[in-house]
């Protein structure tokens, strides 16, 4: 599983030029990210990666048609939202946390 990065490349997915969000994903991770991105009104494309070894499991790459979208910036700006309306946190994006906490710091 890929962690948040600073740079994201562009590639053709399903015949459309896309910003590649992650690649080498299992189906469950791709569906998780697809749901988040579609809630945020981004057009999502998913395609199977080309296999080097036939015995390897199927992996996928996911991209969005908005070529200037950067999920790292969107997450830290708190502009990427969950279907509940709460902001996506880095831990939730990376599937390290099952629930959305309002902030990743504590106020005193």
Q: Which residue has the higher pLDDT, 1 or 39?
A: 39
Q: What is the average pLDDT score of the chain? A: 88
Q: Where are the domains of the chain?
A: 10-93
105 pLDDT tier (thresholds 50, 70, 90): low
Q: Cα(99)–Cα(91) distance, rounded to whole angstroms? A: 9
How confident is the model over 7-53, as pLDDT tens digits? 899 999 999 999 999 999 999 999 999 999 999 999 999 999 887 77
Each residue of 63-90: pLDDT tens digit? 999 999 999 999 989 999 999 999 998 8
In this model, does residue 2 exceed pLDDT 60? no
- Beta strand extents in 1-107 (DSSP E only): 10-13, 16-25, 44-48, 60-64
Q: Is a pLDDT exceeding 60 seen at residue 1?
A: no
């Amino acid at each position: 599983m890929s962690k948040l990065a600073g740079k994201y490349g562009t590639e053709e997915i399903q015949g459309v030029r896309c910003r590649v969000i992650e690649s080498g994903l299992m189906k469950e991770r791709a569906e998780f990210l697809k749901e988040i991105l579609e809630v945020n009104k981004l057009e999502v494309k998913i395609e199977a990666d080309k296999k080097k070894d036939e015995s390897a499991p199927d992996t996928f790459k996911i991209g969005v048609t908005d070529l200037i979208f950067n999920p790292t910036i969107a997450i830290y700006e708190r502009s990427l939202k969950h279907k509940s309306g709460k902001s996506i946190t880095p831990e939730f994006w990376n599937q390290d946390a099952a629930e959305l906490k309002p902030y990743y710091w504590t106020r005193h």
